[in-house]
Amino acid sequence: MKAVVQRVSKASVRVNGSICGSIEKGLVILVAVHQDDTDEQLKWVADKCRRLRIFEDEEGKMNRSVEDVDGEILLISQFTLYGDVKKGSRPSFISSAPPEKAEKMYEKMVSYMEKSIKGKIKTGVFGAYMEVSLINEGPVTIIVER
């Protein structure tokens, strides 16, 4: 499983011209499921993302997690994170999980994170064409992979 985590001051995702998820201060997490991923990997990545200390404390040091700052999470499925461009110019997505598995794992991740950060998880729409807007603070972008 691979996640790209961005610290944001606000973000939103649109599907068919309508906002389906939006947050203020928090994290945008783009997540991709690998064909071999397990529930154990999903939980590790989810916990790592929500516990990342990438928000500033009163001394200006990155020392607080999204939970510590009462932030929100916009969780978006993005299979293209496993795009392989080692050969040629057209990405190969052979490592990405098939849609059935990826959707199931994505929904598990949403549920798992919701248990830890109740009412603070917003999402896109799995498999939809989405337009994501965000203001990346810092910028801070971290890749989490297991």
Would you please indicate which residues are annotated as catalytic (active-site) residues?
78-80
- Structural tokens at position 58: 């009163």
Beta strands in the chain (DSSP E): 2-15, 18-23, 26-32, 55-56, 62-64, 72-77, 121-123, 130-145
Would you state the structure tokens that stand for residue 38, as one six-digit string? 């397990």
Residue with tokens 């917003």: 122
Distance CA 81, CA 73 (A): 19
CA angle 27, 30, 35 (to 5 degrees): 145
Q: How far is CA 37 from the centre of its chain?
A: 16
